[in-house]
Amino acid sequence: MTAVPALNIQGLRKSFGKTEIIRGVDLTIGRQERHAVIGPNGAGKSTLFNLITGRFPPTGGKVSLHGKDLSGLAPFQINRLGLSRSFQITNIFPKMSVFENVRCSLLWARGYRYSFWNMVSKSRDLSEAADAILDQINLSDRRELPAGVLSYAEQRALEIGITIAGGADVIMLDEPTAGMSHSETDYIVDLIRRVTENKTLIMVEHDMGVVFGLADRISVLVYGEIIATGRPEEVRANPKVQEAYLGAALEAEH
């Protein structure tokens, strides 16, 4: 990889009190790569996401997006640099309509900023873009409903819609299929594949099976450290992964 990587993480650390949750993570993700971070419960996957996106300040190390250092930036500043994320726990605007949810997530990216002289409903461009996204996530017939009344799977789809709407070229999805049935999972995975065409995707997954067909490369995070990174079949064959991942998974079950 000679070009500037989409995301570069160096020596990232995070402690809560005395407990170190992320213990020095190094990771480089190239442009238009689909990268999955997997690992057992409590491995620190969501924390890693929160550190990258500026939700928590890291204790050490640094993250750069397209070669640009993200230290000390607030989430909204990081988002403006072209990184968008979803949340493990559904995080939408429950009282606003589905359409409004998507339209709001388009505003900044389309240059509307804090303007109070534009009427959002006047902008054909905005409405069409929002409808296009609703179409992509199959929620067109839910357009006018308040987002809070959607079914769980629909809310997850909306969550992804909000995340991709702004057109960020680095998309981070935190367990997009958490708590879903098999058919719902297949639907969401297919959706992810469609909407992240030509984009960099980083997703956290608990379940290795889900990401297998989707990811170009996989990193395995166990107890705050990445123990392996590589192509899916390499990772699966890696004895260290099998031991640690299965061991930890067994432990978690007990």
Partner 1 sequence: MNRQAVQNQTTAPQGGVTLATALPWIISTIVLLFIPLVFTSNSAITIMNQMAITIIFALAYNMLLGQGGMLSFGHAIYMGFGGFVSVHVINYVEDYSLPLPLPVLPLLGGLAGLALAILIGSFSTRKAGTVFAMISLGVGELIAACSVIIVVFFGGEEGVSGDRTYGLPVFGIEFLQQIEVYYLIVFWLLLSALLMYLFSRTPVGRMANAVRDNPERAEFLGYSARWVRFFSFCASGFFCGIAGGLFAINYEILTEENLNLVQSGSILLITFLGGVGFFFGPIIGAIVFTLLSTVLSLQTDLWQLYVGALFLAAVMYFPGGLAGVIMMHWPAFKMGNIRLLIGPYIKTFTPCLVGILGTAALIEMTFHFRHAAIGDEEMTLFWTTFNSHSVLPWLLVVAVTAAAFWLTRRNLPEMVAAWHTANSLPGVSK
Nearer to partner 1, 123 or 242 (CB): 123
Task: Tell whether residue 182 is a contact of partner 1 (CB under 8 A).
Answer: no
Minimum distance of partner 1 from residue 88's CB (angstroms): 13
Task: Tell whether residue 244 is a contact of partner 1 (CB under 8 A).
Answer: no
Task: Tell whether residue 113 is a contact of partner 1 (CB under 8 A).
Answer: yes
The residue within the footprint of partner 1, chosen from 7, 87, 156, 199 (CB under 8 A), is 87
77 CB burial (10 A radius; 0-12, 13-18, 19+): exposed
Minimum distance of partner 1 from residue 253's CB (angstroms): 32
Nearer to partner 1, 59 or 97 (CB): 97
Task: Tell whether residue 248 is a contact of partner 1 (CB under 8 A).
Answer: no
Nearer to partner 1, 113 or 254 (CB): 113
Position 180, amino acid: M
Task: Tell whether residue 73 is a contact of partner 1 (CB under 8 A).
Answer: no
Task: Tell whether residue 178 is a contact of partner 1 (CB under 8 A).
Answer: no
Footprint of partner 1 (CB under 8 A): 53, 55, 74-76, 79-80, 84-85, 87, 91-97, 99-100, 103-105, 107-109, 112-124, 127, 144-146, 162, 166
